[in-house]
Structure 1
Amino acid sequence: MSEQQDNIFVSGDLLPVFFKTAAPIILIMLVNGSFTLLDAYFLGEYVGAEALAAVTLTFPVFMFLIALSSLISSGYSSVQARLLGARDIDKAKKAFSQAITLALIVCILLILLFLAGGKQLTLLIANGSVDLAEMGYTYLTILIFLSPTLFICSVNSDTLRCEGRLSLMAVVSLSSVMLNIIFNYIFIAHLDMGVAGSAYGTALAQAIALLIIAGYRHYGQPVIDMQIIRLSIKRNFWPEYLSLGLPSSLSYIGVSLTSIAVIFSIQAWSSTNYDTTVGAYGITTRIMTFIFLPLLGLSQAFQTLAGSNFGAKSWSRADSSINIALTIAFSYCLVLQLGVLLLKDTLGALFVSDPQIIAEVARILPMMTLVYFLAGPLMMISTFFQAIDDAKRAAILGVTKTYIFVLPLILILPLIFGEVGIWYAGPVAELMLLVLTAFVLYHRSRNQGNKYGLYTSRVSA
């Protein structure tokens, strides 16, 4: 009983506990999200709208890098957490060494592939624009050649989490973002390095984050006593890393594929204003990312709270946490949707001075956020199934939207409605997800007796 009383998630006043849990997560998310906005501002203000468009065009490749990094690091962290839980330090060191080795091999393959087809790739996504292709190639060259920094940093950061060094992990993460902002400002605004400054700023910030971790490994009291780079010729952990890391990687791949679909749809349906529309798309993507990140933080807090109470069989508290999460998520998304609608004519001007791009942002954003008020509650329902270890329903609701709804709709709707169909794909997918969610909840309610397919207290009674 005393252990349960010490657990604030199952015994504390629910609403304050919810905000106390969510606040630090959302703060970190907002700091991370602010980088995407400031990077866009620096490029648009000090280099020009064309530079912003060039970096936007390379976004799918950047997300693919993140996906590959996540494929290794998230799979590795699952293995490492179990090894450290079993106090098998020798195997933990071997697991780390194999993760670093695999990461470096993937980076070498990426570099070789980019050398073979990087110029052709950037020219293709730039729709034949030589200027855009050159800037995109410069940006990607730096990111890919310095990708080992990203991959090694990801593995080391996840090692800190597995060791229980969450405070240090947060410091490393926040320091990396803040340094990235500072370096980008110096390189872009003062040294006139253009898109290269943005790429170098990212790589340098990650390198310093690695140095912080190296300092901890050398001078601190790590659970695993080793350096930040350690290699191994063995490969027995690799299959497990890749299989366990795939679900996390798929979410990033979905973002990458969605961006690719949008860019090529713009080429097909808005070729005369391609540069302008791509620049506007880059701005709207950053705005939507910044808006989404607090929602992601809220979902993580909700997952912890709902999962803890469900595990403790505190059904009424678990049900109350659902109500809180749904209410906050709906209110947040509705306010943001109304805010975007009211400020649509001024948001683009925060990043660029080009009146055409500003007008294009004002045109695109209201379409993209048409039913944004649904996004939060639907995300919380999917998160709830994750929290109670209902992997099947969580996967259905989590993966379907991107891979089954959004991607096909981006390609199909323009055939019916023209270019605007690209921007209505997201809202239509949200409505389709609403129908699917209703079906999933109805099915669960009918089979298991849960009220509205969510609440458990009725079943236990």
Structure 2
Amino acid sequence: MAVVMSMGGILNLVDGVFVGRFIGAEALAAVSLAFPVAMLLAALATLVGGGMASLLARYLGAGDRRGAGRVFAGAHGLALAVSALLVALWFGFGAMLAGAMAAGNARVAGMARDYLTILICGAPIYLLLGLHIDALRNEGRAGLIAAFSVCVNLFNIGANWLGIVVLDLGISGSALGTVTAQALGLVLALGIRARGTGLLPLQVLRRESWGAAWGAVLVLGLPLCLSFLGIALVASLVMLALHRHAAEYALDVAAYGGVTRLLGLAFLPQMAIALALQGIAGNNAGAGRADRAMAALRLAMATAFLWCLAVMLTGIFAGQAVGGWFSRDPRVIGAVALILRPMLALYAISGPILVLAMYFQALGQPRRTAVLTLVKPWLLMPALIFGLSAGVGVRGIWLAFPVADAAMLLLALLIGRATLRPVPGFSMEDAA
């Protein structure tokens, strides 16, 4: 899973390099403005795929193939319904949204609109591909999806280079390459299922209802979905605060675009660790082996901590080098370094908290998941971004991140103590 998701992060990073170096700073700013909407796509994929995965793992662990097939088929219907709603909303309000995000810059707004139109029209492919990846993971076939993920992402990098550098399609070339690669991945996933060698052969999609289990999938997927939407919200609030306080708005947005690409790459391996835990813990919980689920939790938290510590040290001590990946402009390079140092000051604790949240989600406990995934983006970050930026300017925006991380550490310690080492008379509801 780390290979699968890291390849996606490398793709985003390389694509950012292509956009920044071969199209220019305005294009990088347009991609930065598009980031919240791109995160919305990821959130919707998590809503359906994450909710399905929690149910699927426990059904498979209990040996209930029929129940697993019913959830798998129902998730396909839900994914198509969500995609149709998203496409309709975009064609109704997308142009207005792009113009508002660009703060009056018509050229940047046009590039962002073209880029997002292609990605949103490809949303059904993206969501269905996510379902099959989640299902293969919970069937224990992560090695297989790692192999074809590497192939698909390498194809995507090549397609983006072709569209941006050779065909000179601008950032639309990036979006077209991405959707084409996702379509290839979905065809490969369906081909694997058509062979009928796994726990969920393709026939279950014909046999079971596509309207099944929507409610259960939505309840379990909602905390993760809102968490991804929270990432989009935070990115939007950062750009709004920059618009208010930055002396050079376009420069800072371009630098923040490079930072979001780096943090996207950093986030994906820790999410992979959390998703691997979800499959292992869910299967073992379904089989009645809580001891194995707990052992996996401890291992996953330690691994996520080490990864996030490495990212934190890279951002603090190698910010200039990272900035040079995205731009030749020394001002953009310097701005990337200035953003990374405060933002990543306490980044090492974010991975273990995510892992703990996914453990609760795997066990079918959405309220506990919600506490650990929603408090930071929806409560802490909005207050801290606007409060600190009003007090100390642009630097306050970046300081909001470690302050929120510190608060989440205290909350996670409280919940972890109540959950992993129960105290008499103290319940999870008390902690929440």
Per the TM superposition, whether the score is higher than 0.5 is yes
Name the counterpart of 1:4: none
SS in 1 for 2:423: helix
Q: What is the CA-CA distance between 1:221 and the residue it aligns to?
A: 3.4
SS in 2 for 1:197: helix
- Distance in 2, matches of 1:26 and 1:231, equals 33
C-alpha distance after superposition, 1:192-223 (max 9, x if no partner):
11101110111001111122123234445354
- Relative distance call for 1:227 and 1:147 in structure 2 (3 A) is farther
Name the counterpart of 1:257: 233
Structure 2 contact 357–373 (Cα < 8 Å) conserved: yes
Any residues of structure 2 matched to 1:223-372 within 5 Å, and which?
223-226=199-202, 235-270=211-246, 272-298=247-273, 311=289, 313=291, 318=295, 322=298, 332-372=307-347
Structure 2 contact 77–210 (Cα < 8 Å) conserved: no
Q: Does structure 1 residue 201 correspond to structure 2 residue 177?
A: yes
Any residues of structure 2 matched to 1:141-220 within 5 Å, and which?
141-220=117-196
Q: Which stretch of structure 1 is more off in the superposition, 212-221 or 142-151?
A: 212-221
Identical positions, percent: 35
Q: What is the CA-CA distance between 1:446 and the residue it aligns to?
A: 8.1
Name the counterpart of 1:88: 66
Paired AA for residue 27 in structure 2: A
Structure 2 contact 278–359 (Cα < 8 Å) conserved: yes
- Distance in 2, matches of 1:106 and 1:88, equals 25
**Larger-gyration structure (1/2):** 1
* Structure 1: runs of 5 or more not aligned: 1-24, 451-461
- Relative distance call for 1:420 and 1:235 in structure 2 (3 A) is same
* Structure 2: runs of 5 or more not aligned: 427-432
Name the counterpart of 2:380: 405
Name the counterpart of 1:99: 75
Aligned match for 2:104, one of 128, 131, 153: 128
- Relative distance call for 1:203 and 1:234 in structure 2 (3 A) is closer
Q: What is the CA-CA distance between 1:95 and the residue it aligns to?
A: 4.8
- Relative distance call for 1:357 and 1:446 in structure 2 (3 A) is same
SS in 2 for 1:152: helix
Name the counterpart of 1:414: 389
Q: What is the CA-CA distance between 1:230 and the residue it aligns to?
A: 6.0
Q: Does structure 1 residue 424 correspond to structure 2 residue 405?
A: no
The number of equivalent residue pairs is 420
- Distance in 2, matches of 1:55 and 1:75, equals 29
Paired AA for residue 183 in structure 2: A
- Distance in 1, matches of 2:133 and 2:308, equals 31
- Distance in 2, matches of 1:241 and 1:340, equals 37
C-alpha distance after superposition, 1:55-94 (max 9, x if no partner):
11111111111211222233334455566632328x83x6
- Distance in 1, matches of 2:94 and 2:190, equals 33
Q: What is the CA-CA distance between 1:238 and the residue it aligns to?
A: 2.2
Pairwise CA RMSD: 3.7
- What is the TM-score when the length of structure 1 is the normalising length? 0.78
- Relative distance call for 1:261 and 1:108 in structure 2 (3 A) is same
- Relative distance call for 1:326 and 1:114 in structure 2 (3 A) is closer
Paired AA for residue 88 in structure 1: R
- What is the TM-score when the length of structure 2 is the normalising length? 0.83
Aligned match for 2:34, one of 54, 58, 72: 58
Q: What is the CA-CA distance between 1:435 and the residue it aligns to?
A: 3.1
